[in-house]
């Protein structure tokens, strides 16, 4: 019997707010979709998610509605018939189609989401898509620890602007190291790398005891235009930041536009080690 193929999980994570994590998630997912992959972008910043705002989507259903149906079907003993596709919104631009699973629309809905339900949903999405791109909240919650365990690659983002932000990056990097993941799983990403600050990137790398795997340029105009128009930078006209994001995706997948092959022919990213913080301390 052939081994079941599971989609790759790419997670954007940070221990600081306002570092561009949502824009990264949206553009990575959009570029993968433009490359011809089946992609679902899931917004798991459950209380303050911005994916639909940035894409100017107005979803009729969200992940909170999905969980509500799961609970009903569980009581009826029909959970096997649950289909997450009933809760997916579709974003389309110039022929590129991106599937989106929206975050809850109300804060209380986000608060009442179950980590167990989200894991079931993530498992089903991995069976349906080549890539599942996950946007997260900026914290080490039990949900995020589970997501880190389940991820193939984690883009750990930061910016070099203020001491408190760098302090949070240091705490985050040390915590990620303590989880003993494969060395290729965590990719350190510096956003707004060429912004004018009094703190050098080299000093931050020394503090973190790690080099940034990717540096994204400070392109405020491209970012704000993208948010205003609802068009991801990788799908719009050429910009410095958009091209950097395309290159980042190409490095994750070993593919770029014009050099595509089937997404089932090879594993595009290193596998995670089994086990992690969530699995060790909170169970399956």
- pTM score of the predicted model: 0.88
The yes or no reply on domain 8-252 and CATH 3.40.50.720 is: no
Sheet hosting strand 153-159, strand order edge to edge: 89-93, 96-101, 39-44, 131-136, 8-13, 153-159, 186-191, 214-215
Tokens read off for 264: 């089932």
pLDDT by 10s per residue, the chain, length 284: 444 658 999 999 999 888 899 999 999 999 999 999 999 999 999 999 999 999 999 999 999 999 999 999 999 999 899 999 999 999 999 999 999 999 999 999 999 999 999 999 999 999 999 999 999 999 999 999 999 999 999 999 988 777 788 888 899 999 999 999 988 899 999 987 665 566 777 888 888 888 999 999 988 899 999 999 999 999 998 999 999 999 999 999 887 655 544 444 444 444 444 455 544 444 44
DSSP conformational letter for 183 = T
Q: Which of 279, 171, 218, 168 is nearest to 20 (CA)?
A: 218
Are the CB atoms for 283 and 59 separated by under 8 Å? no
Q: Which of 28, 35, 55 is nearest to 95 (CA)?
A: 35
In the chain, domain spans: 8-252
């Amino acid at each position: 019997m052939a081994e079941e193929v599971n989609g790759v999980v790419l997670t954007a994570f940070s221990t600081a707010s306002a570092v561009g994590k949502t824009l990264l998630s949206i553009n990575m997912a959009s570029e993968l979709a433009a490359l011809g992959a089946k992609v679902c972008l899931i917004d798991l910043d459950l209380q303050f998610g911005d994916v639909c705002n940035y894409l100017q989507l107005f979803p009729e259903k969200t992940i909170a509605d999905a969980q509500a149906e799961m609970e009903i079907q569980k009581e009826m003993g029909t959970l096997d018939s649950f289909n997450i596709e009933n809760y997916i919104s579709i974003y389309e631009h110039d022929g590129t189609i991106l599937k989106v699973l929206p975050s809850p629309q109300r804060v209380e809905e986000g608060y009442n989401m179950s980590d167990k339900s989200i894991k079931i949903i993530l498992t089903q999405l991995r069976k349906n898509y080549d890539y599942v791109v996950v946007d997260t909240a900026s914290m080490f919650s039990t949900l995020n620890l589970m997501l880190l365990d389940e991820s193939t690659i984690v883009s750990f983002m930061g910016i070099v602007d203020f001491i408190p932000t760098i302090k949070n990056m240091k705490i985050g990097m040390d915590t990620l190291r303590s989880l003993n993941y494969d060395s290729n799983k965590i990719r350190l990403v510096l956003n707004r790398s060429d912004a004018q600050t009094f703190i050098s990137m080299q000093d931050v790398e020394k503090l973190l005891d790690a080099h940034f795997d990717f540096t994204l340029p400070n392109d405020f105009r491209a970012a704000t235009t993208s948010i205003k128009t609802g068009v991801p930078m990788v799908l719009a006209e050429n910009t410095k930041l958009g091209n950097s994001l395309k290159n980042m995706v190409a490095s994750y997948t070993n593919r770029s536009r014009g050099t595509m092959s089937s997404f089932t022919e090879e594993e595009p990213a290193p596998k995670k080690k089994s086990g992690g913080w969530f699995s060790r301390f909170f169970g399956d």
